[in-house]
Chains A and B, each alone.
Chain A
Amino acid sequence: MRYEIFKQDAPNQPHSNVGSVHAPDAEMALMHARDVYGRRPNAVSMWVVPESEIYATSHEPEAMSHEGRTKNQEPRTKSQEPEAHGSKLTAHGSSPTSYAVFRKTSQRRSMTYVAYAGTVEANTPKDAVTAAMHKFPSPATFVWWVCPEAAISKTEAEAAPSWFEPAKDKVYRQQAYYGDATRKNRRQRTKLVNKLSSDETPDEA
């Protein structure tokens, strides 16, 4: 199964989509996510969500209405069973479900895609998107993702240091460790490396 990965870089920043991993269950998806997307010292928490639980909008609003779910809509999804897919997403139908909302609000070059905005109550994923548009207005939102909040598996807060702290000691993974920095002592180097290692767009060469 494919899981979408959301990484948080600091406690005050939103979980943002960085990519996906394949895993047989959420527990292993989290472990793969740490290895694939957490090798640098800037993760404090990760969430994983099965791809099939995510309802996404695209640039074309009509595609959303007749496809139902547009993420990776063609050609693959068509060969799967759209019935099963739809019923899974709307199974929570009768009583309102809490949906987590993610969105893309910028066209700037970035390492991350949609970022967490908050939750809405809705009966269907489609209604959740409508509710999100009202609850989280912004000058421009290019993509919405919603998923039942219950579909998210998260790293545990107590375990986070043992998951993410070791990356901080691997200073040789940072370019500042080489070249001009080789003569400085280790503490200075580590300081520099921590400063440079935030998850930002790198400078152009």
Chain B
Amino acid sequence: MTQATDITPKLAEFEARIGRGEKIEPGDWMPDDYRKQLIRMISQHAHSEIVGMLPEGNYITRAPSLRRKMVLIAKVQDEGGHGQYLYHAAETLGISRDEMEQALLAGKAKYSSIFNYPTLNWADIGMIGWLVDGAAIKNQTMLAHCSYGPYSRAMVRICAEETFHQRQGKEMIVKYAQGTPNQRQMAQDALNRWWWPVLMMFGPHDSDSPNSEVLRRWGVKTQSNDTVRQLFLDEVVPELMAIGLQIPDPQLHFDAENKHWKHGPIDWAHFWQVVKGNGPMNKERLAARNQAHDNGAWVRDAVTAYASRK
């Protein structure tokens, strides 16, 4: 910001464009902070899609039927695609996919903490589809309105694909909840373990979210963390109750005046521990990602050699 006289009209024009609902495109002038915040957000989002393949990919060989297996393969493959859409969007801001990938493999990059919890049995696959992908859809629907063209387009494409991820999970949990006592217990146990981490997916409360103001002003995030969390809560609470599952929050109640479901306090100290790398699966995820990358080295070498000899 040293050339304030030079930058101010550009910044004004930039903000006016966002005000008119225009998309900012690669190559257009943008404030450094806009570029930096977007690179941070989009790369973290891309990493989340990639790491997000691990807890579910684990279960492909253990799916209980061929149908479930095909569905799970398709879902995990979609997540890999989502990672690629997002790395592409970040690359248009001047960072390379290689830099992002190296940061992830070295453990320097962040990704959604939800993937640092273990998948203990098959019911977890249903609960992840319903709640984790369901929460992601809420967030991504908001981000589809983002002022940066490539991020918005990636989000529109991702949202169109995500809906099946959520539906297949919900279908599975509804069947479990209506099944044998043992199946009902599995669904309840999965909900008990995933509920709070899912609520944390929307990020800290608005009062503790330092980047929110500027991201809102520049049309990156068009709704606050708490607003999106509330949308999610109001949708899933009645649905979970309808199938007879108990939400593990004794303070959860319906606020009749505002017509919203209100949750009890979230354990943010725990959240920050997981963000800092001390969650139950942080080390395993990083190790698995590195192993997958190393195991694929021969493929990368082979295609490069093939291309160079043509």
Q: Are A24 and B306 in contact (CB under 8 A)?
A: yes
- Known A28-B303, A63-B29: A72·B92 in contact at CB below 8 Å: yes
Interface membership of chain A positions 124-152, coded 1 if the CB is closer than 8 angstroms to chain B and 0 otherwise: 00000000000000000011000000000
| CA–CA, A7 and B175, complex, Å | 38
Contact of B23 among A107, A112, A177 (CB under 8 A): A107
What chain B residues lie within 8 Å of A204 (beta carbons)? Answer: 141
Within 8 A of B (CB), among A73-121: 73-76, 104, 107, 109-113
| CA–CA, A98 and B98, complex, Å | 34
| CA–CA, A114 and B256, complex, Å | 48
| CA–CA, A142 and B24, complex, Å | 10
Q: Are A109 and B144 in contact (CB under 8 A)?
A: yes
| CA–CA, A28 and B304, complex, Å | 10
Which residue of A has the minimal Cβ distance to B169?
A178
Q: CB of B193 within 8 A of chain A?
A: no
Stretch from B103-111, B145-153, B272-280 at the A interface: B145-153
Q: Are B307 and A113 in contact (CB under 8 A)?
A: no
Q: Are B171 and A182 in contact (CB under 8 A)?
A: yes
Q: CB of B77 within 8 A of chain A?
A: yes
> How many residues of B are counted as interface, with CB atoms below 8 angstroms from the partner's CB atoms?
56
Q: Are B17 and A59 in contact (CB under 8 A)?
A: yes
Contact of A173 among B164, B171, B231, B306 (CB under 8 A): B164
Q: Are A25 and B307 in contact (CB under 8 A)?
A: yes
| CA–CA, A178 and B92, complex, Å | 36
- Known A71-B27, A172-B71: A179·B167 in contact at CB below 8 Å: yes
Q: CB of B22 within 8 A of chain A?
A: yes
Stretch from B78-86, B247-255, B287-295 at the A interface: B78-86
| CA–CA, A28 and B299, complex, Å | 12
Q: Are A111 and B160 in contact (CB under 8 A)?
A: yes
Interface membership of chain A positions 186-201, coded 1 if the CB is closer than 8 angstroms to chain B and 0 otherwise: 0000000000000111
Which residue of A has the minimal Cβ distance to B88?
A19
Q: Are A76 and B96 in contact (CB under 8 A)?
A: yes
Q: CB of B70 within 8 A of chain A?
A: yes
Contact of B81 among A39, A170, A177, A178 (CB under 8 A): A39
Q: CB of B94 within 8 A of chain A?
A: yes
Q: Are B77 and A19 in contact (CB under 8 A)?
A: no
What chain A residues lie within 8 Å of B91 (beta carbons)? Answer: 2, 20, 72
- Known A59-B25, A73-B27: A202·B149 in contact at CB below 8 Å: no
Q: CB of B308 within 8 A of chain A?
A: yes
Q: CB of A15 within 8 A of chain B?
A: no
Q: Which of A20, A63, A76 neighbours the largest number of chain B CB atoms within 10 Å of its CB?
A: A20
Q: How near does chain A come to B17, taking the closest CB pair, in angstroms?
A: 7
Q: CB of B7 within 8 A of chain A?
A: no
| CA–CA, A56 and B28, complex, Å | 11
Q: Are A202 and B163 in contact (CB under 8 A)?
A: yes
Q: How near does chain A come to B171, taking the closest CB pair, in angstroms?
A: 5
Q: CB of B54 within 8 A of chain A?
A: no
| CA–CA, A2 and B26, complex, Å | 15
Q: How near does chain B come to A169, taking the closest CB pair, in angstroms?
A: 10
| CA–CA, A72 and B97, complex, Å | 13
Q: Are B74 and A172 in contact (CB under 8 A)?
A: yes
Q: Which of A35, A142, A173, A200 neighbours the largest number of chain B CB atoms within 10 Å of its CB?
A: A173
| CA–CA, A57 and B157, complex, Å | 24
Q: How near does chain B come to A194, taking the closest CB pair, in angstroms?
A: 15
Which residue of A has the minimal Cβ distance to B175?
A182
| CA–CA, A63 and B26, complex, Å | 12
What chain B residues lie within 8 Å of A104 (beta carbons)? Answer: 25
Beyond the given pairs A58-B28, A71-B26, A172-B70, 17 more chain A to chain B contacts, judged by CB atoms under 8 angstroms and listed by A's residue number, are: A2-B91, A24-B304, A36-B85, A59-B27, A59-B28, A60-B29, A72-B91, A73-B27, A75-B94, A107-B21, A109-B152, A110-B153, A111-B153, A113-B149, A142-B25, A179-B170, A204-B141
5 nearest interchain CB pairs?
A24-B307, A58-B27, A178-B167, A70-B27, A175-B163
Which residues of B are at the interface with A, using a C-beta cutoff of 8 A? 17, 21-29, 67, 70-71, 74, 77-78, 81, 84-85, 88-89, 91-92, 94, 96-97, 137-138, 141, 144-145, 149-150, 152-154, 156-157, 159-161, 163-164, 166-168, 170-171, 231, 235, 303-304, 306-308, 310
9 contacts between A and B (CB under 8 A): A28-B303, A59-B25, A59-B28, A109-B145, A172-B168, A201-B160, A202-B156, A202-B163, A205-B231
Which residues of A are at the interface with B, using a C-beta cutoff of 8 A? 2, 18-25, 28, 35-37, 39-40, 56-60, 63, 70-76, 104, 107, 109-113, 142-143, 170, 172-175, 177-179, 182, 199-202, 204-205
